[in-house]
Structure 1
Amino acid sequence: MSDERDPDSGGTDLTERQRLEAHGFRPRKRFGQNFLVDPRIPELTVARASWQPADTVLEIGPGSGALTAALLSAGHDVRAIERDRDLVPVLLERFRAEREAGRFGVREGDALEADWTADLPLDRRPWIAGNLPYSITTPLLLRAFSYRDVFAGAVFMLQREYGDRLLAAPGSKTYGSITVWTRAHAEVRSVLKVGRSSFWPRPGVESIVVELAFPETPPFPGDRAVLERVVRASFSQRRKTLTNAMASGLGREKAWVLDVLKHAEVEPEVRAETLGLAEFARITESALAHDL
């Protein structure tokens, strides 16, 4: 099934907006709130993602519960973390029956600080889902990676430009350090493109739903701390060759870098954006062997 959508297609349903307004709720800019009001989007998201009905889902920032409702309808149990205390009673009222049946729970908290595993059954690897506030996408993404050994994967709504960076191929303009770091933790694919008209208030950018599957054996099973140092240094000065960027970013002599690259079988004159995870993995192993 194609992931393409008309980015400004119609079909907006005011049910979610009316539910929020009935509680006297208005979106708060300080929380970066843009609520999903097109009912087709959560339904398509749930249908196209790789999770199974038996999988519990941790939802980050459920808002009024648009995605929550679709997940529950598909058979998932849902546990949610909501930062806005005024939205918690909205969710508790909407999903009272599911909460009483033990299928839904929500706690007030900041997902950047809260324990994501609290109240989650871990007999089967759960999933993560959420419409991530654009201003804190990277910190939340990195937090998800820190839990990759616990969860089976994540399905996130992101700013389209950011999602394109995660999906980028080596050599493209959008390919960068976050691309490599993501590939070190997850298998990435596009699920759904979402237009601005699907939100209230309408954001200034388009969105995309991406799936990050966390296989039990990570794509990069080596020392992630060293990989992070190598990747950051390599992309620190995109216009420079890999040799010069690594020497500057790691504070090492060029001779050391050249020796590392030689043993990694990577050409010293290439630029970081042309290399894939496999090349960075070899550079990381070589750097470790050379006492980085």
Structure 2
Amino acid sequence: MSKTHLGHRARKRFGQNFLHDQNIIEQIVDVINPQHGENLVEIGPGLAALTEPVADRTDHLNVIEIDRDLADRLESHPFLREKLTVTRGDAMKIDFNEFVNPEQPMRVFGNLPYNISTPLIFHLLQYTDRIKDMHFMLQKEVVDRLAAEPGSKTYGRISVAVQQACRVTAVVNVPPGAFNPPPKVESAVVRLEPYSESPTPVKDRQQLHALCLQAFNQRRKTIRNNLKGLLNEAQLNQLGIDPGARPETLSVADYCAMANYLTDQKNPHE
């Protein structure tokens, strides 16, 4: 099957780096393990490095592409056009409910542009009850942040947000030479599997995300200082949280307890 890098230049504004290493591509597709009849959604298919081998193993694929030239190329692709539904647009602004199939939860995957990976993951957390799993190629340091444990330098608000909602597994490391042009960073593929019941339930995810944004805003300060105006020392003590702790030492469960307390304060009769 012909690979179609010819004549398309990577565009900086879309953060494009095209995957070309066949061994790495096969490893990633094996990890995704697409099956016939599944509801597959690819973000940023680009030059179809993952799209072609995934389409070989399945009958239909939804793809989201922001680059008009690439979307045109996919729609006229001799092998793929019969199997693809191409949605043109920015994945950050797309309502993923349009891909929902009551029989088949979504399986989302993609080689994500590094400049939008964090906000895009936050966007997708809105749909986790309709998603079976997500496989994303990301900067390795972003994968490290997603999987980080409390107490580590890389643990932060995205660690809490994603671990509250999903089981996180790093599955494949990808060297810069697997891309054209090679990025200046290491990459990795992460698997995110939304929980049907989270081990750390939260009543309002937006409240959790807002709390974490404030808590991690100044990592060197104590949680008491960072959450001034939201929770006072007595309330933190009541929740079993040391007001003198630094934000990166608190667990996902601690953040969920604080978020749930704030939600209850707003809705005292529920």
What TM-score, normalized by structure 1, do the two folds share?
0.83
Matched, 1:20 2:8: no
Shift in Å at residue 167 of structure 1? Answer: 1.1
Are 2:213 and 1:232 aligned?
yes
Query: Is there any run of 5+ residues in structure 1 with no aligned partner, and where?
Result: 1-14
SS of the residue corresponding to residue 152 of structure 1 reads strand
Q: Is the 8 A contact 2:147 2:169 kept in 1?
A: yes
Tell me if the contact between 2:112 and 2:138 (Cα under 8 Å) persists in the aligned partners: yes
Match of 1:107 among 83, 87, 108: 87
Q: Secondary structure at the match of 1:118?
A: helix
1:139 is matched with which residue: 119, 129, 136?
Answer: 119
- Is 170-179 or 212-221 further displaced after alignment? 212-221
Identify the range of structure 1 (191-200 vs 160-169) with the bigger mean alpha-carbon deviation. 160-169
Q: CA RMSD in A?
A: 2.1
- Deviations along 1:24-53, one digit per CA (max 9) or x if unpaired, are 211111111100001222321121247655
Number of positions where the alignment pairs a residue of Structure 1 with one of Structure 2: 265
For residue 245 of structure 1, the aligned residue among 222, 226, 242 is 226
Q: Which runs of 5+ in 2 are unaligned?
A: none
Cα displacement string for residues 54-76 of structure 1 (whole angstroms, at most 9, x for unaligned residues): 42211011011111122122336
2:49 — aligned with what? 66
For residue 175 of structure 1, report the CA deviation from its aligned partner: 0.7
Say whether 1:124 aligns with 2:109: no
> Is this contact kept in 1: 2:175–2:186, CA < 8 A?
yes
- Partner of 1:187, secondary structure, is strand
Separation (CA, whole Å) in 2 of partners of 1:220 and 1:52? 31
- Provide the C-alpha distance between the structure 2 equivalents of 1:215 and 1:119, rounded to a whole number of angstroms: 20
2: CA distance, partners of 1:76 / 1:220:
36
The aligned amino acid for 1:43 is E
**Does the Cα contact within 8 Å between 1:49 and 1:191 map onto a contact in 2?**
no
Instruction: Give 3-state SS (helix, strand or coil) of 2:244's partner.
Output: coil
1:277 matched to 2:258? The reply is: no
Picking from 154, 157, 173, the partner of 1:174 is 154
Q: Structure 1 CA distance, aligned partners of 2:137 and 2:109? A: 8
Q: Indicate yes or no: 2:19 matched with 1:39.
A: no
- Alpha-carbon distance, 1:257 to partner: 1.6
* Counterpart check, 1:77 vs 2:77: no
Query: Does 2:178 correspond to 1:209?
Result: no
CA shift at 1:126, angstroms? 1.4
Q: CA deviation at 1:160?
A: 1.0
- C-alpha distance after superposition, 1:134-161 (max 9, x if no partner): 1111221111112212211211110111
Rounded to whole Å, the distance in 1 between the matches of 2:99 and 2:259 is 37
Moved more, 128-137 or 74-83: 74-83
In structure 1, distance between residues paired with 2:5 and 2:102? 33
Distance in 1 of aligned mates of 2:39 and 2:81? 14
